[in-house]
Structure 1
Amino acid sequence: MKKYIISTLFLVIATDIFSQNITLRQAKKSTLENNNLLKNSFLQVEEAKALKKQAQTNYYPKVSAMVFGMKAISPLLELNMEGGNLPVYDGNPANLLTANQFAYMPGINMSLLNQLAGGAVTLLQPVYAGNKIKTGNQLADINLDVKKKQEELSNKEILHKTEKEYLQVLSLLEKENTLTGYEGFLDQLTKEVQTAVKSGVVIKNDLLNVTVKRSELKLKRTQLENGIVLSKKQLCQTTGIPYNDNLVFENQLSELNPPESYYISEEDAVKNRLEYQMLEKSVEASKLQIELKKGDSRPSVNVGLSGFYLDPLTKSMDGKFNGMAFAGVTVPISNWWEDKHKINQLKTKEAIAENDLKENTGLLKLQIDKAWRDLQEAYKSISLNKEILLQATENTRVNQQSYKNGLSQMSDLLEAQAQVNDTQEKLIDSKIKYQEAVSYYLLVTGR
């Protein structure tokens, strides 16, 4: 007896320890932390941040350093001068042309630049680059903004997917509860029919009908249990939650608010849509692409400083330091015509981007309107299925009473109860569909 109590206690404790309650909020939180697609979206934002920092460096001066050395096979410069007597001038102009004193000048043989070493450091600061640096940074800002919006859109879409999968699990669990109730009804009915058969009140065929229906439900339960396992595993794949058989999901099907509590006007909803905002950024980027191309046809101005050291590597000459400041203006001429055609091409792309914005704005409004109508329709279906369930339940009660009084057949009672079960499942489906419609409506209205 003690062993039985200890074993039972251990089983209860173990089940409590290893079971894991999962709410919809926890599932979404886990998705944001673990989903691989969202990790890639985050990395794309980081890439765009690096690109923006790279574009900002174009404002700063460019510093370069160079060290070089050379040794020529033959000297690059040679000086050969023969020696001879040079007249010596004694200071008297009368003796300039008839000098009688001379000084001997030896011959000179010099080889220069046969070896050389040196180094230079140059600083170049762009003053004006045809407005290309500023435009390039603006494009980098737009790229970063778009990547952030894409990341946010990916978050919303994957969270919507998570909610649908979570609701799918709840739907199957609710249907399992409904099936359990149906099985309980048949179990009780089987006992009553067995007693009635033994008493000779009803024929054995009624018991066979109930037995056949119970066998059908066993097959349905097997299919339902397999569906529950697969739907849980799919949700775990999306959320990154480790799968185990003890996962417990919080039922939220009863928390249904009317459609009016979610309504927002189409105009406001469109402006909330990240897709609309990215289309606007596309038009803005196309304008900047034109400005960037115009910069190729504008002059550029640069100033700079350079310091260098040269050493001929000979004993007769010492190395020297030197430096200079410089400025330069570059005016492109030959590519003006080419750039003009390229700019016209970019203007065409700008017009296309503006047309895409107008067209997709209309499509987004249609999508929002359809989502709103689907939301209303799903909510109405819940009320209709509730009414049908009340009628089906009453019909079953009447048939059950009639069967006991011998006024109806077993098949009528089983059909009535089957209708109740079907209606219960339709009510569950309508509630799930409504919550999915709410989630989708919030998604397409930018919330």
Structure 2
Amino acid sequence: MKKVQMMMLLLCLLQYGYGQTRLTLEHSRSMAVKNNNKIKNSALDLDAARESKKEMFTNYFPKVTASVIGMQALDPLLEMKMKGGNLPVYDGNIANLASASQFAYMPDVNVGLFNQVGLGYINVLQPLYAGGKIKTANELTSLNLQVKEKQQLLTSNEVLLMTEQQYWQVVTIQEKQKTLEGYILFLDTLYRQVNVAFKSGMIIKNDLLKVSIKQQELQVNKIQLANGRKLALMQLCQTIGTDYNTDINLESNLTDLSEPENYFVTNNTVLHNRAEYQLFEKAVEASKLETKLKKADYLPNLGVGATGYYMDQFETNSNGAANAMVYASLNMPISDWWGGKHKLKELKNRESIAKNTLEESKGLLSLQMEKAWTDLTELYEKIQLIEATLAQTEENLSVNQKSYKNGILQLSDLLEAQALKIETENKLIEAKSQYRTALTKYLQLTVR
């Protein structure tokens, strides 16, 4: 019987434990990578770039076209009129042909051609030279694919940073709720003590009312925190692609904070590895290829091809005709160069703009990394100062509690000491959460 009771108790505890869904930061990040719509769209964009690259490669192969045409004209497209008259009758002796005495009359004859026609043909064209347009276009699509890969990385980093910010926002509220619950318990205990003292006539009712008013304020704060947690958790669930559930509880670990020096890197050593910098480099390459592609429009185009066709007039006692031919075509643009030279100068200027932007990006990206490092170190120092302040507020509260029990301190001073401790604890929670987010941002900017 005792074993059965123990098993039932264990099952109850397990059921209670599973009633809440615990969510860790790593789990949230993995869910965001898997479910976030921005990341999904970025992956689809990358797949589209791959297909575009494959489609552009097919321009190296011959172009094959086929067509079938059927036509019925109101009048023949080609009409021939044969003049009639008296034709000599030939008796078989060639000597009598010139002096024939008998004739046969032949009326005028009208012949109409192409009144109805069916035509089918197939054409194969192989470009031999197109001014480098096909090669350059393929290089552009390959470059576009590389750009999409970098953009996908940036999108993932953006979503992961947003996930972490929202995660720590919920954790901050959860920790504040715990702090508030401790404050509520403190006031409940204090209220009972003050109430006993009031009934005993040791204090006036004003002290009791002070505690009661503070309790009501904390209930309002409790409602506000609960609503804030709900909205923050809903936002996190939206980002990581899961349904909102009131039973979700985030795992909070704000105690293990490594020093910033453990992650420091020199900006110049990682600048060229950043996806943002590489995108600026790709922009310079793209501007050069666009100029090269436009220049190909003003160069000769050479190609060879073959065509085969079959034509039938659908006439009685008339058979269709089939034929084939091979050909070469050369296209030489001449007048296009008049406006083309100005277009090429425009594109050359755009190349210079892209190069200047690349140079400017070096300083801006370095400044961004420097600011991220400054923010990280400032937050770490802030945490150290708040922790020292918290130790002082705890000591101050302890002294005030002893003084109040000994009757040498007013109740308002004790309440103020407790409020100061809670305020400091909340500031420490916020600073630690901000530090974790700032660390993630710094690691992303330094390509780790």
Q: TM-score, normalised by structure 2?
A: 0.90
Structure-2 separation of matches of 1:131 and 1:105: 71
1:391 equivalent in structure 2: 392
2:431 equivalent in structure 1: 430
Shift of 1:66: 1.6
In structure 1, give the amino acid aligned to 2:247. Answer: N
Q: 1:65 to 1:399 in 2, by over 3 A?
A: same
1:326 equivalent in structure 2: 327
SS state at 2:271 partner: helix
Contact kept, 8 Å, 1:89 with 1:99, in 2: the verdict is no
Shift of 1:6: 13
Contact kept, 8 Å, 2:121 with 2:309, in 1: the verdict is yes
2:235 equivalent in structure 1: 234
Deviates more, 1:118-127 or 1:10-19: 10-19
Q: 1:329 to 1:88 in 2, by over 3 A?
A: farther
Contact kept, 8 Å, 1:42 with 1:151, in 2: the verdict is yes
Shift of 1:365: 1.0
1:191 equivalent in structure 2: 192
Deviates more, 1:278-287 or 1:67-76: 67-76
Shift of 1:179: 1.2
Quick check: 1:361 aligned with 2:355? no
Q: 1:235 to 1:85 in 2, by over 3 A?
A: same
The equivalent position to 1:78 in structure 2, one of 77, 80, 83, is 80
2:3 equivalent in structure 1: none
Q: Equivalences for 1:39-438 in 2 at 5 Å?
A: 39-75=40-76, 76-83=78-85, 84-85=87-88, 100=99, 107=106, 109=109, 110-438=111-439
Shift of 1:249: 0.9
Contact kept, 8 Å, 1:88 with 1:99, in 2: the verdict is no
Shift of 1:89: 12
SS state at 1:69 partner: strand
Shift of 1:169: 0.6
Shift of 1:101: 6.0
Structure-2 separation of matches of 1:56 and 1:102: 78
Contact kept, 8 Å, 1:172 with 1:224, in 2: the verdict is yes
Structure-2 separation of matches of 1:176 and 1:113: 92
Q: 1:120 to 1:169 in 2, by over 3 A?
A: same
**CA deviation string 1:317-346 (max 9, x = no partner):** 322221111111111111111111111111
Shift of 1:350: 1.1
Q: 1:9 to 1:259 in 2, by over 3 A?
A: closer
Structure-1 separation of matches of 2:245 and 2:63: 59
Structure-1 separation of matches of 2:213 and 2:72: 104
**CA deviation string 1:179-217 (max 9, x = no partner):** 122222222223333333444444443333322222222
Contact kept, 8 Å, 1:385 with 1:423, in 2: the verdict is yes
**CA deviation string 1:43-66 (max 9, x = no partner):** 222222222222112111111112
**CA deviation string 1:239-292 (max 9, x = no partner):** 122112211111121121111122222123322322211111111111001000
Structure-1 separation of matches of 2:417 and 2:269: 49
Q: 1:276 to 1:88 in 2, by over 3 A?
A: farther
Structure-1 separation of matches of 2:168 and 2:427: 15
Structure-2 separation of matches of 1:431 and 1:78: 99
Q: TM-score, normalised by structure 1?
A: 0.90
Contact kept, 8 Å, 1:87 with 1:102, in 2: the verdict is no
Q: 1:221 to 1:11 in 2, by over 3 A?
A: farther
In structure 1, give the amino acid aligned to 2:310. Answer: Y
Contact kept, 8 Å, 1:117 with 1:310, in 2: the verdict is yes
The count of corresponding residues between Structure 1 and Structure 2 is 439
In structure 1, give the amino acid aligned to 2:427. Answer: K
Structure-2 separation of matches of 1:244 and 1:310: 73
Structure-2 separation of matches of 1:254 and 1:344: 61
Shift of 1:388: 0.5
Q: 1:71 to 1:400 in 2, by over 3 A?
A: closer
Deviates more, 1:247-256 or 1:168-177: 247-256
**CA deviation string 1:38-92 (max 9, x = no partner):** 222222222222222221121111111121233433330314043534999989x
In structure 2, give the amino acid aligned to 1:330. Answer: N
Structure-1 separation of matches of 2:112 and 2:394: 117
Structure-2 separation of matches of 1:115 and 1:198: 119
In structure 2, give the amino acid aligned to 1:441. Answer: Y
Contact kept, 8 Å, 1:88 with 1:103, in 2: the verdict is no
Structure-1 separation of matches of 2:260 and 2:7: 53
Q: 1:316 to 1:194 in 2, by over 3 A?
A: closer
Contact kept, 8 Å, 2:88 with 2:100, in 1: the verdict is no
In structure 2, give the amino acid aligned to 1:78. Answer: M
Deviates more, 1:191-200 or 1:222-231: 191-200
Shift of 1:366: 0.8
Structure-2 separation of matches of 1:155 and 1:36: 11
Shift of 1:158: 1.0
Contact kept, 8 Å, 1:62 with 1:124, in 2: the verdict is yes
Shift of 1:437: 1.0
Give the gaps of 5 or more residues in structure 2: 1-5
Query: What is the percentage of aligned positions where both structures have the same residue?
Result: 44
Q: 1:103 to 1:308 in 2, by over 3 A?
A: farther
SS state at 1:73 partner: coil
Deviates more, 1:67-76 or 1:237-246: 67-76
Shift of 1:102: 8.0
Q: 1:368 to 1:103 in 2, by over 3 A?
A: farther
Structure-1 separation of matches of 2:421 and 2:254: 19
